[in-house]
Amino acid sequence: MTLNPASDAFIAALQAQLPEGTVRPADPRFLEEPRGRFFGSPDQHVALPHTTEQVSTIVKACNAARVGIVPFGGGTGLVGGQVMQDGPTPLILSLERMNRILGVYPLENVIEVQAGVILSEVQAASEEVDRLFPLSLASEGSARIGGNLASNAGGVNVLRYGNTRDLCLGIEAVLPTGDILQGMTRLRKDNTGYDLRGLMVGSEGTLGIITGAALKLSPRPSSVGTALMVVENPAAALRLLALARSHVGEAVSAFELLHRQGLEFVAETLPDIRQPFSAPSDWTVLIELGMVARADETLEEIFVHALEEGLVTDGVVAQSAQQRTDFWSLREHIPVANKRIGSVSSHDISLPLETLPDFIARAGQVIASLGDFRINCFGHLGDGNLHYNVFPAQGRDRSEYENMRDQVKFAVHDLVAEYSGSFSAEHGVGRLKTGDLMRYGDPAKVVAMKAIKQALDPLGIMNPGVVLPA
C-alpha cells in the first residue's frame, strides 16, 4: 500500500476547499530539524489551518487521495519526527495559527489550549492566575504544546509532576479518517472506555492530529530553593536524592546530574555563562525544592545533613533569584555547548534508578574500549533519565568518527537493554530510532502497535515512517 505524492492537482483541489493562504509552499523552516540529520525536499507544501474543522478537511482530503501528512509543531523535536525526506511528497501540517488559550479554570487547576500555543505561553497564562503548568524544557520558547503532547515531552520537572501525558486531562484530535475526537474534557475522573487520550499522546502524529488539550495545573510553590551540590559519584547522588526526599517528600521538583565534561564544554564554548565553582568537580547535582515555605532553609538543612553523612563535598544554595537563574542557565546551556563541540553519538536513555551508578561505570569502560572519546553524561537523574553523549577526543573532530557512530550507538543501547532501560526516555522514536524500536522493542508490543496503527490509519497517511517503519 504505497502513498501518493501531494501533486499539483491535489494541492490545487485542497486550496480550493480552504481560505486563501491556508495551503502554500513550505518555507525552509518546515524542512529542517535541530540535529541536521533530516531535510525535507523543497517542493513540499504546508497547510496552516485556523480551525479544527479545517484540519478535518485537510486530513479527509489526504485520506481520500492517500497522501501522507507530516505534522509540524514548533520544530524542536530531536528525532526527526517533523521532517520527512524520503518517499512520496507529503503535505506538512502546522497548527501555528491555532494558538489560542481557550479557557483558564484556576479553581479546577485546568487550562484549555489549542495545539499551536507555544509552551512558554501556556506557562505564562497559568502564572497569571497564580498556577503552575509544570512542563519545562530547554526549547519552551518555541516548542508548541501540540508537539509536546504528540511526543509526550519530559523535561526538568517530571520527577515531581510527570511527563506531558500525566499533565493532560483530555484532548481534541482529528483522527486519520478526518473525524474529530471530542475528548477535551476537564474531568479528573472519567472511566468510560479506552484511554484514547493516553494513546494519542506520545504517538508522534502517527495516529491523528492533536488540535487542543485540557491540561492540569498545579499550585505554584510559594517558596523555591535551588542549590548545586558536589557529590563524589552517581551513587552518592542517588543517596542524596533519597535523603532530600526523606526530608521533604514530593517537594523535590528537580534533581539534575551534571558532569565535569559538560561544565568544561560550557566554559570552552560559552565563556559568558557564569560557573559557580572555579574548578568543576566530576559530578555536580542541581537540586530544586518547591514548597509552601522555607525552601531555602530546608535546602541548607539537607545540605548540612548530606555533608555529615559524607554524601556531598561542596555546595552552594542560591541566595537570590539571579543566582537561581544562573544555576539553571548553566544546566540549560549544556546542550548548547554540546552542539558546539559536536557529538559523535547522543543518547536519551533511562535506566531503573538503582542500576544507574553501575551502568555509568560500565558504559564508560565500553566506550573507552571502542576508542578515544570524551563523554558528557548529564540529565534528569531523579527520573533515571540520562543524556549520555559521546564526543571526539580533545583536539579531534566528529568527522573523524563518522564511521564509528553506529558502533557507539549500539554499544550504548545494547548496554541499556541489558539493564532493562529505554533507548528513548523523553525524545521519542521519530524517524531516527525506528530501527532501535525494531531491535530492542518487545516483539509483542511492536505487533500490537502495528495492529493499532493499521486499525486507526489503514492507509498509513499519518506521519509516514515515524515510530513504525513506513
Task: Work out which of 98, 262, 383, 390 binds a copy of itself, going by CB under 8 A.
Answer: 383
405-418 vs 356-370: helix axis angle to the nearest 10?
A: 150
Output 130 or 268, the one with its CB closest to a copy of itself.
Answer: 130
Give all strands (DSSP E) within 95-222, no chain letters. Answer: 101-105, 110-114, 131-132, 168-174, 180-183, 209-216, 218-219
- Contact between 1 and a copy of itself per CB under 8 A: no
**Candidates 32-40, 69-77, 121-129, 217-225; binding stretch for a copy of itself (CB under 8 A):** 217-225
**Least separation in angstroms between CB 62 and a copy of itself:** 17
- Contact between 438 and a copy of itself per CB under 8 A: no
Output 245 or 396, the one with its CB closest to a copy of itself.
Answer: 245
Q: How far is CA 191 from CA 173, 187, 188, 196, in A?
A: 19, 10, 10, 11
Task: Work out which of 75, 80, 134, 183 binds a copy of itself, going by CB under 8 A.
Answer: 183
- Contact between 104 and a copy of itself per CB under 8 A: no
DSSP assignment of 373-441: EEEEEEEEGGGTEEEEEEEEPTT--GGGGGGGHHHHHHHHHHHHHHTT-BSBSSS--TTTTHHHHHHHS
- Positions in 192-211 near a copy of itself (CB under 8 A): 192-196, 198-199, 201-203, 207
Which x/- pattern over 114-153 shows residues binding a copy of itself (rule: CB under 8 A)? -------------------------------------xx-
Task: Work out which of 1, 107, 369, 394 binds a copy of itself, going by CB under 8 A.
Answer: 107
- Positions in 343-372 near a copy of itself (CB under 8 A): 350-354
Q: Is the dihedral of CA 451, 452, 455, 459 positive or negative?
A: negative
- Contact between 452 and a copy of itself per CB under 8 A: yes
CA distance 83 to 88: 13
- Contact between 456 and a copy of itself per CB under 8 A: yes
> In which element (H, E) is residue 283 found?
strand 283-291
Task: Work out which of 188, 274, 340, 439 binds a copy of itself, going by CB under 8 A.
Answer: 188
- Contact between 423 and a copy of itself per CB under 8 A: yes
Tell me the backbone φ, ψ of residue 327, rounded to 5 degrees. Answer: -60, -45
Q: Tell me which DSSP letter residue 353 carries.
A: G
Output 89 or 422, the one with its CB closest to a copy of itself.
Answer: 422
CA atoms within 13 A on the CB side of 94: 24
Task: Work out which of 60, 99, 108, 282 binds a copy of itself, going by CB under 8 A.
Answer: 108
**Least separation in angstroms between CB 394 and a copy of itself:** 32
- Contact between 53 and a copy of itself per CB under 8 A: no
- Contact between 444 and a copy of itself per CB under 8 A: yes
Q: Which of 135-173 are b and which e, b meaning 16 or more Cβ less than 10 Å from the residue's Cβ?
A: bbbebbeebbbbbbbbbbbbbbbbbbbbbbbebbbbbbb
- Positions in 249-308 near a copy of itself (CB under 8 A): 249-251, 291-292
- Contact between 240 and a copy of itself per CB under 8 A: no
Question: Whose CA is closest to 286, among 266, 315, 320, 313?
Answer: 315
DSSP assignment of 242-266: HHHHHHHGGGEEEEEEEEHHHHHHH
Count of residues binding a copy of itself (CB under 8 A)? 90
**Least separation in angstroms between CB 187 and a copy of itself:** 5
**Least separation in angstroms between CB 399 and a copy of itself:** 30
- Contact between 59 and a copy of itself per CB under 8 A: no
- Contact between 54 and a copy of itself per CB under 8 A: no
**Least separation in angstroms between CB 146 and a copy of itself:** 16
**Least separation in angstroms between CB 387 and a copy of itself:** 12
Output 75 or 183, the one with its CB closest to a copy of itself.
Answer: 183
Question: Whose CA is closest to 220, among 157, 294, 134?
Answer: 134
Instruction: Count CB atoms within 10 A of the CB of residue 184.
Output: 20
CA distance 284 to 63: 51
**Residue the block writes with cell 492540569:** 216
